Amino acid sequence: MMNKNHPMVLRVVCWAGFEVIIPIFFVVAIWPISAAFLQISLAFEKTLGSADLLPIGSVLLLGVAIDAIFAEFQRATKSMIVAVLAIVACLVALVFLFLYGFAKAEYLRYSFPASGDADARMVLFAYLSGMSIIFAVIFSLLIKLKSLFLDISPTK
């Protein structure tokens, strides 16, 4: 049975597929590919240490925040939570971009050793990069679901 709310749920699913999974997959997939097939040492640090996931997370957060703010303008009942979430998303996105510049500069100046472990800073950048994209995806999903909930809520 078709439901009039299905397009809204479908919108979230399409967002998750095309804006989240595909871009992240193509960046993260380099790590197992380079480790398993190309036999590159320190593949994790070399792939994620460049902090390429930070701008993706930043774009995710900014896009969702802007969508939420414009959707909020069109609602009769305003929600303070959406506004706060959108502002937090924008601020975190700016922090991510600032961090990306710093991490990228450090990454370019650093030369990986032929054997042994990588510098602790590169490992930290890799973890930070991975954690930032996880946070960005879940926080964006939170804003999307809150916005969707307000759209389908009877108190609209």
Partner 1 sequence: MKIEILWVLLVLLCVGTILSILGVWRYACHIRNYLEGQRGAEGQAAADKDEVVITNQRLKELIDLISSIKQANYDVSTPILQETNTANVQAQTIFLERNGTDDALVALASNNIDHPRTSLRRIK
> Considering Cα of 131, then 24, then 150, then 153, what sign does the dihedral take?
negative
How many other C-beta atoms can be found within 10 angstroms of the C-beta atom of residue 58?
Answer: 24
Query: By CB under 8 A, is residue 87 in contact with partner 1?
Result: no
Query: By CB under 8 A, is residue 80 in contact with partner 1?
Result: no
User: C-beta of 29: minimal distance to partner 1 in Å?
Assistant: 22
Query: By CB under 8 A, is residue 108 in contact with partner 1?
Result: no
| Contact region with partner 1 (CB under 8 A), list: 15-23, 64-72, 107-115, 131-139 | 131-139
Contact 121, 106 (CB under 8 A): yes
Query: By CB under 8 A, is residue 146 in contact with partner 1?
Result: yes
User: C-beta of 101: minimal distance to partner 1 in Å?
Assistant: 10
Contact 111, 36 (CB under 8 A): no
- Euclidean distance between CA atoms 139 and 92, whole angstroms: 10
Q: Which residue, 1 or 76, has its beta carbon nearer to partner 1?
A: 1
Query: By CB under 8 A, is residue 13 in contact with partner 1?
Result: no
| Contact region with partner 1 (CB under 8 A), list: 19-27, 30-38, 42-50, 135-143 | 135-143
Q: Which residue, 95 or 97, has its beta carbon nearer to partner 1?
A: 95
**Residues at the interface with partner 1 (CB under 8 A):** 1, 3, 5, 9, 92, 95, 99, 102, 120-121, 124-125, 127-128, 131-132, 134-135, 138-139, 141-142, 145-146, 148-149, 152-153
